[in-house]
Structure 1
Amino acid sequence: MRRRITTLTVLAALVATVLFALPLGIAVWQYYHDDAKGDLERAADATALAVSEDLNAGRRPTVPPLDEEDDEAGGEVGIYAPDGRMLAGHGPAVGGPVERQAAEAAADVVIGREGEEIALAVPVVSGPRVTGVVRAAMPLSQLRLRIVLTWLGMAGLAVATTGVSWLMARRSTKRLVRPMEELAAAAERLGDGDFTARSPRAGIAEIDQVGEALDTTAARIGSTLERERAFSAEASHQLRTPLTGLRLQLEAALETPDADPRAAIRAGIASADRLERTIEDLLALGRERRAPRAELDLEALLEEVRQAGEALLSPHGRTLRITRQDPPPARVAAAAVRQVLGVLLDNAATHGRGTVTLVARDAGDALAIDVADEGPDLGETDPFATAAAGHGIGLRLARSLAEAEGGRLRLSLPDPPTFTLLLPAADPPAPA
Structure 2
Amino acid sequence: MRRRLIQSTLAVVLVVIAVFGVSLVIVETRTISNSAQERVDSEALRLASIVDSRILGDEHINAEILKNQIAEDRYAVIRIPGQAPVELGLQPSGDVIHSTAKGEEGETVTVQEPRSAVTREVGRTLLIIALVALLAIVAAVLLAVRQANRLASPLTDLAETAERLGSGDPRPRHKRYGVPELDRVADVLDASAERIARMLTAERRLAADASHQLRTPLTALSMRLEEITLTDDPDNVKEEATIALTQVERLTDVVERLLTNARDPRTGSAVTFDLDEVIKQQLEEWRPAYRSAGRAIVSSGKRHLQAVGTPGAVAQVLAALIENSLMHGGGTVALRTRVTGNQAVVEVTDEGPGVPTDLGARIFERTISGRNSTGIGLAVARDLAEADGGRLEMLQAQPPVFGLFLSRTPLKRPPLVDEDEERTVR
Does TM, normalized by the shorter one, top 0.5? yes
Aligned: 1:268 with 2:266: no
Task: Give how far 1:151 is off.
Answer: 0.7
- AA aligned to 1:78 is V
- Paired with 1:5 and 1:177, the residues of 2 have a C-alpha distance of 10
- Paired with 1:207 and 1:86, the residues of 2 have a C-alpha distance of 87
Task: Give how far 1:28 is off.
Answer: 0.9
- Tell me the residue number matched to 2:337: 359
The answer (yes or no) to whether the contact 1:195–1:221 under 8 Å persists in 2 is yes
- Tell me the residue number matched to 1:341: 318
- Tell me the residue number matched to 1:376: 352
The answer (yes or no) to whether the contact 2:297–2:332 under 8 Å persists in 1 is yes
Distance 1:67 1:285, change over 3 A: farther
Consecutive unaligned residues of structure 2, counting only runs of 5 or more, are: 413-426
- Tell me the residue number matched to 1:48: 48
The percentage of aligned residue pairs carrying the same residue is 29
- Tell me the residue number matched to 2:167: 192
Deviations 1:170-189 (A, max 9, x none): 45555555555455445544
Deviations 1:289-347 (A, max 9, x none): 234x56x32315763554354233257566664765797865x6666444323423443
Aligned: 1:280 with 2:256: yes
- Paired with 2:375 and 2:141, the residues of 1 have a C-alpha distance of 65
- Tell me the residue number matched to 2:226: 251
Distance 1:307 1:401, change over 3 A: closer
- Paired with 1:206 and 1:67, the residues of 2 have a C-alpha distance of 73
- Paired with 2:17 and 2:387, the residues of 1 have a C-alpha distance of 70
The answer (yes or no) to whether the contact 1:86–1:92 under 8 Å persists in 2 is no
CA RMSD in angstroms, aligned pairs only:
4.4
Distance 1:9 1:34, change over 3 A: same
- AA aligned to 2:377 is G
Task: Give how far 1:145 is off.
Answer: 1.3
Aligned: 1:413 with 2:391: no
- Tell me the residue number matched to 1:298: 272
Distance 1:117 1:289, change over 3 A: same
Task: Give how far 1:274 is off.
Answer: 1.2
Task: Give how far 1:120 is off.
Answer: 2.7
Task: Give how far 1:155 is off.
Answer: 0.7
- AA aligned to 1:285 is N
Distance 1:132 1:392, change over 3 A: closer
- AA aligned to 1:288 is D
The total of aligned residue pairs comes to 395
Distance 1:300 1:65, change over 3 A: farther
- Tell me the residue number matched to 1:402: 385
TM-score, length of structure 2 as denominator length: 0.73
- Paired with 2:370 and 2:171, the residues of 1 have a C-alpha distance of 26
- AA aligned to 1:162 is I
Task: Give how far 1:146 is off.
Answer: 0.7
The answer (yes or no) to whether the contact 2:355–2:400 under 8 Å persists in 1 is no
Distance 1:47 1:400, change over 3 A: same
Task: Give how far 1:162 is off.
Answer: 2.5
- Paired with 1:388 and 1:373, the residues of 2 have a C-alpha distance of 18
The answer (yes or no) to whether the contact 1:190–1:218 under 8 Å persists in 2 is yes
- Tell me the residue number matched to 1:102: none
The answer (yes or no) to whether the contact 2:274–2:306 under 8 Å persists in 1 is no
Aligned: 1:27 with 2:27: yes
The answer (yes or no) to whether the contact 2:356–2:370 under 8 Å persists in 1 is no
The answer (yes or no) to whether the contact 2:325–2:333 under 8 Å persists in 1 is no
Distance 1:424 1:120, change over 3 A: farther
Alignment partner of 1:239: what SS? Answer: helix
Task: Give how far 1:136 is off.
Answer: 2.5
Task: Give how far 1:278 is off.
Answer: 0.6
Task: Give how far 1:232 is off.
Answer: 1.3
- Paired with 1:66 and 1:206, the residues of 2 have a C-alpha distance of 76
The answer (yes or no) to whether the contact 1:231–1:397 under 8 Å persists in 2 is no
